Amino acid sequence: MLFGSILSLLFLASYGSSSILPIRRSSTCTVASSNGTSDDSPAFFIASKACAKDATIVFSEGVDYNIFTPINATLSNVDIRILGNLHLPQNITQVQLLVNTTATTWITVMGTEVSWTGTTNVSNGWIYSYGQQWWDANPANGTGIVSRPHLLQFNVSTGTITNFKSSKPIGWNVAILGNNIHVTNSFIEATTTGGFPFNTDGFDIAATNVLIEDSVILNGDDAFAVTSGSENVTISRALIGGPGCHGTSIGSLGQNQGLFATVSNVLFTDITAVGAVYGARFKSWVGGQGLAKNITWNNYSVHNVTFPIYVTQNYINQGSAQTQIENGMVVGRPNNSSVLMRDFTWSNWKGDINTHNPGDGSCVTDPCWYAVPGADGTQSAVIQCANATSCENFSMSNIEVVPQSYPATLPSIICENVAVASALGFVCRNGSFTSG
């Protein structure tokens, strides 16, 4: 069943995302550069209007562009080639003002049959956001200063992103919306020399028929978060890691108790996680509604990961109002429903748990937001279902994830409310216990 599921997901994602983009592009517009003297966003607007259909828009190779105001374009059969480097403003106050008055996303690309094409040249094709100064400006016990922009929204029907490169993002990197999208060869670097890089998500996905391959993501939040509305999503061959990476996530789901969240047919495969808080995570809110079905995390190598496998239905976002992805109460939520989980599989895992120095630098509360009662750095899996009916048909096989003090210390598991019929390889005893 597992391999049939994997093959069908790969087929669906590949078929949906590889509809051949039309090769007839009759015109080319090159974005003019001010050579660092002024804002180049107006030059992009000129190019995107002149080449909005059946065309190529080029940021010239080796040229620096000041994208000092938010840009957007609605395109049809257009390739945006990022051969130079894009620079956001370095003035925090200037960016905050624009976020509050103009747009919350700095670059928005919409339309049909659209490509974002970077370059394999390691010196070019970057978006420089100068996020370090934002992270350093975060006050004590803060979770990121206000009015931070999202970097890129890619909302297209049939599109590709190739060789996307992001250096020091202020916050969220790429939001994938739409249908039939193929992403390859991405590099996101949010390592820090000071303050914690809160909310530096790699890819936030709310789309159908998505294939993301060959990614390197070093950040302080989810490397990939598959959220409500997603169906037929495959994420393959990724290296993810700290300073506080939250791994490969489903959710969060159910924050807005008036909406029914849905996620189905998601495959994460061939993932390496190093120095992360989580490897694979599911997160839903108390009192949420929805259904997450047919989710697989397959072929994982984890090293120094605090919670390799993690399921919670008591998720809470400790951040400000800007960081909430839906309307909905954060505290005082009625516990009158749960997001349902069906057909979850974890298979072929190897590696070790961060036993000696668990967590990251993102704690602003005591206990820490990611604290799990009873967790002691030996848990290869934490599965906390809200009730006896919220989790059905869970399967684990070939899980070889051990504490860093193994064999002196054996791996353990925290498990609550998983249906007896699930093929976990152990009996869920509603508590913590040592696995053999």
Longest dimension (CA), the chain: 67
Q: Is 241 helix (H, G, I), strand (E, B) or coil?
A: strand
Helix (H) or strand (E) holding 187: strand 174-189
150 counts as catalytic: no
In 163-288 the beta strands, taken as DSSP E runs, fall at: 165-167, 174-189, 203-218, 224-226, 230-241, 248-253, 260-274, 278-285
What CA–CA distance (Å, rounded) separates 348 from 270?
A: 10
Which of 201, 204, 221, 222 is the catalytic position?
221
Question: Which of 328, 297, 329 lies closest to 311, judged by CA?
Answer: 297
Q: Which two three-digit tokens encode residue 15? A: 């078929």
**Residue 46 CB neighbours (<10 A):** 12
What CA–CA distance (Å, rounded) separates 54 from 77?
A: 5
The type of residue at 310 is: Y
| Contact of 32 with 40, CB cutoff 8 Å | yes
246 counts as catalytic: yes
What CA–CA distance (Å, rounded) separates 248 from 301?
A: 13
What CA–CA distance (Å, rounded) separates 224 from 432?
A: 28
Helices (H) and strands (E) in the chain, counts: 4, 23
End-to-end, the C-alpha distance of the chain in Å comes to 26
Altogether, the residues listed in the chain come to a count of: 436
What CA–CA distance (Å, rounded) separates 392 from 2?
A: 16
Which of 87, 150, 182, 246 is the catalytic position?
246
Report the catalytic residues: 221, 246
